[in-house]
Amino acid sequence: MSELLNRRLTLLGERANLSLLEKCLHGIERECLRVTPDARLAQTPHPEALGAALTHEQITTDYSESLLEFITPALADPAQMLASLDKIHRFAYTKLGDEYLWSPSMPCALPAEEDIPIAYYGTSNIGKLKYVYRQGLSLRYGRTMQCIAGIHYNFSLSEQLWPLLKQAEGVEGSERDYQSAAYIALIRNFRRYSWLLMYLFGASPALDTGFLRGRPHQLEQWKWDADTLYLPYATSLRMSDLGYQSNAQAGLTPCYNDLTSYTNSLRSAVATPYPQYVEIGTHKDGEWVQLNTNILQIENEYYSNIRPKRVTYTGERPIQALMSRGVQYVEVRCLDINPFLPTGIDLPQARFLDAFLLFCALEESPLLRSTECGNCTSNFLTVVKEGRRPGLELQRDGEAVELKVWASELLKKIKPLAQLLDTSLGHGEHTEALALQQDKVDDASLTPSAHVLASMSEHKEGFSRFSLRQSLAHAHYFRSESLSVEEQAEFEAMARTSLEQQAELERNEVGDFDVFVGAYQASILGISN
* Within a domain: 488: yes
Residue type, 223: K
Residue 87 sits in which domain range? 3-164+175-253+276-525
Each residue's pLDDT, cut to its tens digit, for the chain (529 residues) gives 799 999 999 999 999 999 999 999 999 999 999 999 999 999 999 999 999 999 999 999 999 999 999 999 999 999 999 999 999 999 999 999 999 999 999 999 999 999 999 999 999 999 999 999 999 999 999 999 999 999 999 999 999 999 999 999 999 999 999 999 999 999 999 999 999 999 999 999 999 999 999 988 999 999 999 999 999 999 999 999 875 556 788 777 666 889 998 999 899 899 999 999 999 999 999 999 999 999 999 999 998 999 999 999 987 889 999 999 999 999 999 999 999 999 999 999 999 999 999 999 999 999 998 788 889 999 999 999 999 999 999 999 999 999 999 999 999 999 999 999 999 999 999 999 999 999 999 999 999 999 999 999 999 999 999 999 999 999 999 999 999 999 999 999 999 999 999 999 999 999 999 999 999 988 876 654 4
* Within a domain: 267: no
> Coil, strand, or helix at residue 341?
coil
Rg (CA), the chain: 23
* Within a domain: 263: no
Query: How many domains does the chain contain in total?
Result: 1
Q: Are 442 and 199 in contact (CB under 8 A)?
A: no
**Cα atoms in the 13 Å half-sphere on the side-chain side of 43:** 10
Contacts of 396 (CB under 8 A, 6+ apart): 375, 406
CATH at 368? 3.30.590.20
* Within a domain: 435: yes
Residues 347 and 292: their CA atoms lie apart, in Å, by: 42
* Within a domain: 378: yes
Q: Are 354 and 408 in contact (CB under 8 A)?
A: no
**CA nearest neighbour of 521 among 294, 368, 339, 336:** 294
> 397: phi > 0 → left, psi -120 to 50 → alpha, else beta; which?
left
> Coil, strand, or helix at residue 273?
strand
What's the start-to-end Cα distance of the chain, in Å? Answer: 36
* Within a domain: 90: yes
Run of H or E including 516 = helix 513-525
Residues 334 and 340: their CA atoms lie apart, in Å, by: 18
Is the whole-model pTM more than 0.85? yes
Kindly provide the b/e burial profile for residues 127-155, where b requires at least 16 CB atoms within 10 angstroms of the residue's own CB: bbbbbbbbbbbbbbbebbbbbbbbbbbbb
Residues 75 and 84: their CA atoms lie apart, in Å, by: 10
* Within a domain: 121: yes
* Within a domain: 269: no
Residues 102 and 32: their CA atoms lie apart, in Å, by: 6
Residue 214, exposed/middle/buried by CB under 10 A (0-12, 13-18, 19+)? exposed
